[in-house]
Chains A and B, each alone.
Chain A
Amino acid sequence: MVGFFVGLIMHWNSNRLILILSSSIGKKLIMAFTGLGFCIFLLSHLAGNLIIYAGDDAFNSYAERLHSFGPLIILAEIGLLFLGIVHISTGIYLFYQNVRARPGRYIKKRNAGGRSIGSSTMPYTGFLILIFIVFHLIDFHFVEKTDRSIYQIVSETFSNPGYTIFYILSMVVVAVHVDHGFWSLLQTLGVNNLECMPLLRVISSAISLFVGIGFGSLPVFITLIS
């Protein structure tokens, strides 16, 4: 990943850069790099959130330590926002181009067994995740934090069964998106070959299950102990 950008910068030429990044594989690479960024974020976010299992004190002190990084956190947030804008705008453009690539639809079309639930729903699961993120930020990020600990905020938010169901369903959608997305980024980055293809599929499914169950179990655990 770093090598790719170092290479691009070393051979800097704006025309060439536009040619490469605007090509079909260039756009795939943009989706792959930004998607990889989100996968790394998801795993680190989950690692932090799983501290909830160690109790409210441990979780609150983790949140405090995280916020003590100050400007670094703001920098990371700006980075994530940038990744989000690039991922979404490139995804929308790809979706538009792909619809445009077949003006006359088939009257009868059957899948040959290549498509999975994840692969055929990527634009739609992506859109649902965006809606979830908006609510998620409103509920946990832009919420009033002065008089309550982060654990209290989490606990109070998940005390609403409607929100808990929305959260768990959203995590199922995230898992479906990651299941195809992670494997797909490995294929786009050219990691795939005939020997390691089954293993890459398993790794991708394992990560998606870990993310889905990891996040999805949090409201269940919080509801049970409260």
Chain B
Amino acid sequence: MTKANGEKCINLKLKVWRQKTKDPKGRLESFKAENISKDMSFLEMLDVVNEEIIHSGKDPIAFDHDCREGICGSCGAMVNGRAHGPEKGTTLCQLHMRHFSNGDTVVIEPWRSRAFKVVKDLVVDRSAFDKIIQAGGYISVNTGGAPDGNAIPVPQEVAEKAMDAAECIGCGACAAACPNASAMLFTGAKISQFALLPQGHPETKKRVLAMVGKMDELGFGNCTNERECEAECPKEISIINIARMNREFIKSAISP
């Protein structure tokens, strides 16, 4: 390994999951990431490695990304066995290389779940989450002119809870980190944000059964309250949203 450029740069050994097609056969391939600035994000480091791979005429590492600001939920991978890497409340694009040391070996794998199929390398098809949202259906909003913003009063603490739930960016880290590959934190957050606000109320009971039913149908596992999801969630969404989903489910079961 060549000497890193001063203290600002580090050299790493990467072990990246390579999978050519949807066929789940794949393997870890080793790469050298040299002269990586500590100010780079994890995805920028992968860009640098990919440049070299492309120059050598090989197929670059495929990975999902979009905004690179930690708000779109596109990126995500298991870094050394942790969803979005070792930092708390961080997406992969906001994980900076200063959290790694010179000479580290970094293992990078895609999200793994029956409901998330690996498309290529680190790219995962997370349309299962979209299907859960679609199953939730609509909320009743009257057509016509935009209603006055203050026409429906929402208590501040309720609005805060709804916003906490709505912070979910649907990255999939919860299901990826869950020992049971369960999507209950995602589904709980989506159900909570609507169940808390008056706009979502008329359809609450129908919505919870439909979304939970779709989640099960897609092959996600069952929650055993391991709390790995909230520990890995880049938006630090709490499992109290799962408890709220359970309450809404019970309410719906008792009186449809």
**A contact residues vs B (CB 8 Å cutoff):** 3-4, 6-8, 10-11, 16, 19-20, 23-29, 94, 97-98, 100-115, 119-120, 122, 180, 183-184, 187-194, 197
B131 lies within 8 A of chain A by Cβ:
no
Q: How many A-B residue pairs have CB under 8 A?
A: 150
Tell whether B256 is near chain A: CB-to-CB under 8 Å: yes
Q: Identify which of residues 18-51 in chain B touch chain A, using a CB-to-CB cut-off of 8 Å.
A: 24, 28
Question: What per-residue 1/0 map shows which CB atoms of B183-220 lie under 8 Å from chain A?
Answer: 01000000000000000000000000100110110011
Set of chain A residues within 8 Å of B184, measured between Cβ atoms = 24
Is there an interface contact between B179 and A112, defined as CB atoms closer than 8 Å?
no
* Main DSSP-derived SS at the B contact region: mixed
Cross-chain contact B254 with A29 (CB below 8 angstroms) = no
17 pairs of residues in contact across A and B, judged by CB atoms under 8 Å: A4-B250, A8-B254, A20-B209, A24-B215, A25-B246, A25-B249, A27-B222, A98-B182, A102-B114, A104-B24, A105-B112, A109-B78, A114-B226, A114-B229, A190-B244, A192-B240, A194-B238
With A8-B253, A29-B250, A114-B227 known, 14 other A-B pairs at CB within 8 A are: A23-B249, A24-B222, A28-B246, A29-B246, A100-B219, A100-B221, A104-B118, A107-B17, A107-B28, A107-B107, A108-B80, A108-B81, A183-B225, A190-B244
Are B216 and A108 neighbours in the complex by a CB distance under 8 Å? no
Structural contact, A114 and B230, CB atoms closer than 8 A: yes
Q: How far is the CA of A7 from the CA of B184 in the complex (A)?
A: 24
Are A115 and B226 interface neighbours, CB within 8 A? Answer: yes
Q: Which residues of B contact A27 (CB under 8 A)?
A: 222
List the B side residues contacting A10 at CB < 8 Å: 255
Out of A6, A108, A194, which one reaches B240, CB within 8 Å? A194
With A29-B250, A102-B181 as contacts: A24 and B113 at CB distance below 8 Å: no
* A109 and B81 contacting across the interface, CB-CB below 8 Å: yes
Q: Do the beta carbons of B221 and A97 come within 8 Å of each other?
A: yes
Q: How far does the alpha carbon of A104 sit from the alpha carbon of B113 in the complex, in Å? A: 7
Given A25-B212, A190-B243, A190-B250, also A112-B228 (CB < 8 A): yes
When A24-B184, A106-B112 are in contact, do A119 and B107 touch as well, CB less than 8 Å? Answer: no
Instruction: Give the shortest distance, in Å, between B90 (CB) and chain A (any CB).
Output: 12
Instruction: Contact check, A98 vs B181: say whether CB atoms are below 8 A apart.
Output: yes
